Amino acid sequence: MDDLSTIRSAALSAVEQAADLAALDAARVAALGKKGSVTGLMKTLGGLAPDQRKEFGARVNQLKGEIEVALEARKSALGSAALAARLASEKVDVSLPVRPEGHGTLHPIGQVMDELGAIFGEMGFMWADGPDIEDDWHNFTALNIPPDHPARQMQDTFYLPPRADGTPMVLRTHTSPVQARTMLDKNVQQMLADGGSLRVIVPGRTFRIDNDATHTPMFHQVEGLVIDRNTHMGHLKGCLYDFCRAYFEVDELPIRFRPSYFPFTEPSAEVDIGCSWKGGELRVGAGDSWLEILGSGMVHPNVIANCGLDPAVYQGFAFGMGIDRIAMLKYGIPDLRSFFDADLRWLRHYGFSALESVR
Ligand code: PHE
């Protein structure tokens, strides 16, 4: 009997004094484990007389239950103490500055394409696309540049191996082949026959054998094309005036049309914008110098006929502008080659926030 009350107080005080979960588990093993004190009492039951065994067994079982309850109580006390200690030591200081987070930037070319889409979109233009790898017919012949025409020498073309059927292939030297692709489109022809008006811009990659501070073998152009029954040279001028002033954000931007030659337009004009080079720094919209930014003209009747439309019925204008060049001019970027170096420092400096508003 004495044994039992000694074991009881030893076990309960070990549980009570356990300072952490490891000590508590040690107290459990010391009492209830295989070689524990209470388990030891159970083992003595076999040597007792039956009536004693019943009475003593009940008391040992009760003791076992008591210890288990104490273990549970101590365990939850230790748990809330540990939580309280963590809460006290691990404070979140909400006044600390946030960790810097890396944000990507939009490349100036993408930004300018978005601006082009917004400005021409307001004028009712749609956005069209064409392949970078183009066949000779769309890039040249359809545009009134037949084989052996000297105008083919105007552009330093990357020629590709011909297709299996012999079709000569090139990397497109301008976005103008998409003029032909658009006019040849059955839905566009139906829309025109129904009295509609075709207005598209074609921003995209173009390729020429050229490489210096203002030329790269891959560069970007935006083509513009308007075809209907009435569009004339006055519309061409008005459209490009409005575009240049909106894009460069200069209301009084000086703009000059200069007679020029392209096989696919007649008459043709190149467009210059006024600028100054004071102190070696380029400023658009002021001063006494001119910078060429695009080629344009009334679509040649031969091109309209090559694309399956009747030039006696349909007419319109087209233009082609260097996107890289107008990006350099608007955003003061001196070297074209840096556009395509993928230098993170350059991209952080000249890139745009994704949420920068377009106009
Ligand atoms: N395709 C011409 C070029 O790359 C530009 C242009 C387009 C000129 C449309 C007139 C009309 O130089």
pTM of the predicted model as reported, rounded to 2 decimal places? 0.72
Q: Which of 170, 176, 239 to mutate to test the pocket of ligand 1 (most atoms within 8 A of CB)?
A: 176
**From CA 67, how far away is CA 41, in angstroms rounded?**
14
What value, to the nearest 5°, has the Cα angle with vertex 180 and ends 239 and 318?
Answer: 15
Residue 288 to residue 278: CA distance in whole angstroms: 10
Distance 224 CA to ligand 1 centre (A): 9
Tell me the average confidence (pLDDT) per consecutive run of 10 residues in the chain, 359 residues long. Answer: 82 92 92 92 88 89 93 92 89 88 89 97 97 97 90 83 94 97 98 98 95 88 98 98 95 94 97 88 85 96 98 98 94 89 93 73
Q: For residue 321, which atom of ligand 1 is closest to its CA?
A: 5
Q: Name the closest-CA residue to atom 9, ligand 1.
A: 319
> Could you tell me which of 290, 282, 284 has the C-alpha nearest to residue 245?
284
Ligand 1 pocket member 262 (CB < 6 A): yes
Ligand 1 contact via 265 beta carbon (within 6 Å): yes
What is the 251 CA–ligand 1 centroid distance (Å)? Answer: 26
User: Are 228 and 196 in contact, with CB atoms under 8 Å apart?
Assistant: yes
Nearest CA to ligand 1 atom 5: 320
Q: For position 1, what pLDDT does the model report?
A: 47
Instruction: Please report the pLDDT score of residue 2 as a whole number.
Output: 58
Pocket probe mutation, ligand 1, options 138, 236, 239, 264, max atoms within 8 Å of Cβ: 264
Tell which atom from ligand 1 comes closest to the C-alpha of 295: 8
Confidence at residue 278, expressed as pLDDT on a 0 to 100 scale: 83
Give the ligand 1 atom nearest the CA of 176. 1
295 lines ligand 1 (CB under 6 A): yes
- Which pLDDT belongs to residue 245? 94
Q: b/e per residue, 300-318, with b = 16+ CB within 10 A? A: bbbbbebbebeeeebbbbb
CA of 293 relative to ligand 1 center, distance in Å: 11
Structural tokens at position 317: 């204008």
- pLDDT value at residue 99: 86
| Pocket of ligand 1 contains residue 318 by CB under 6 Å | yes
